Structure 1
C-alpha cells in the first residue's frame, strides 16, 4: 500500500491518479496515525504543498523507527539544496511534480527496497551491528544536455560540506563524461585504469586512481580516450562502487 499526503485535494487526486491504488491523507499528523495502525505500509509520497520541514522530520523519524518505510518527496522544483537536505534526512527519493513517470518509478523502487529490508531484518528484530557503509546517490537522465553534470558536481560539493563528509563523485558517462572539466581537474588516472586490474582491484589501488578536488570531495574521472569505454563492463563498475562505499560517506 502507498499513502499520499498533500494539503491541496487537487494535487493529491492527481498523484493518486498517477499511482493507482493509494490512500490519500490531508496532513502529516494523519500520516503518523496511519503509520501507527498500519505496520505493513511501505511508502509515503509527500506532495509539493507539504512544507519541507514537516516532510524532513517525518523522514528523519521513520528512518529510525521504520527503516523499511520509504518517504518520497515530490516538489514543484528540485535543486541541489533540496536534494542534499533530503539525503541527509533519510528521504528515499526526490522527484519533480510534473514527472509523473518518475514518481511512479520511485514508488516501485521504494516498495522493492522495503520488501528487501523486511526480508533481511523482520519487523521487531534488530540487525547485528556491522561496519558503516557509504550511501550511493545516482544522478541520471535518459537524455543529454539537461544538467546532470552541474547537478551532480554541486550536490557532491554540498554533501562534502568542506570536509564534514568524505564524498567521491564517480563519472559514469564513460563516453562523454565531463565531471573533471566541470571541477577543473587534471586527473592523472581515470576509471579506465582499473580495467587491467579487474576483480583484483582493492581499496589501495582504487584510491590511487582518484583525484582530489577539495576538502571532503574526490572524483573518479571518466576515460579521456575515445573508445575506451567499451572495455569497462558492468561487473567492474559494480566492484568499484562496492569498494567506494567502504571508503567514503
Structure 2
C-alpha cells in the first residue's frame, strides 16, 4: 500500500460545504491524500452568499498548525482564506523554515462577491507569496496584487487563473522567473456550479506536489480534476452551487 501524501489545508470553513476547508478535504481525499486542517475562520454561507464571518485567534490557528506538523507531519501545505493580517503572519512564522511545498490561494472575494480579506490582510500576503511554491490568483486577485509586472518584479511564481475572464476558452498561465510561461487552454464549461473552484484547484495542486509530482504536471492534473468536478456538479443551491468532488474517479 502506498503511503498517502499528507496535506495540511489552512483555510476558512464553508458551512455549505462547497468551498474552503470542506472543499479542501474532499479534494485531497478524492486524490488519495491524507487531509489535515488548520481552520482560520468560520463562515455562514451558501450558494447565495456569505452572511457572517468570524475569524479565529492567531494563537488558535498557530496551535492547529503546530499540532499537525509536530506529530503527523506534512508533505505539502495549501493556504486559502486567512481572516486577518495577524493570522497571515502567524501562518508565515510557522511555514518559513519548513521547506515544504506550499500552494497559496490568495482568497479575497468569494464566488458570490463577498469580501473575505481586508487591505491589511492583502498586504500581509507578501510574506506568504515569498514562501509559496505557487500562488494562484484569479483575474481580480492578480490585479489587486499589482498585476503581472509587479509579480515579476517580486519574482513570484504564480498561476494566473482565467476562469473569471471573458470568452469561450479558459486560459491558465504558469509564470516563473527566467522561464517560459506554461499555458493551458480549455473550452469554458457553461455552469453556475462554480462555488469552490479556486479552493479545489489549489488543494489538488498541493496534493500532487506532496506526492512528488513536478509543478507543471501538478497544475495540469489539478485542472483536469476541477473540470471533472464541474461537470459532475449535483445541482444543489439556488445560485453559485457546489461542484461534484465525490463523483470524480
Q: Which has the higher contact order (CA 8 A, sep 6+)?
A: 2
Structure 1 or 2, whichever has the larger Rg, is 1
Instruction: Give 1 or 2: higher strand fraction.
Output: 2
Same fold (TM over 0.5): no
Question: Structure 1-normalised TM-score?
Answer: 0.35
TM-score, length-scaled by structure 2: 0.35
Counting helix residues as a fraction of each chain, which structure ranks higher? Answer: 1
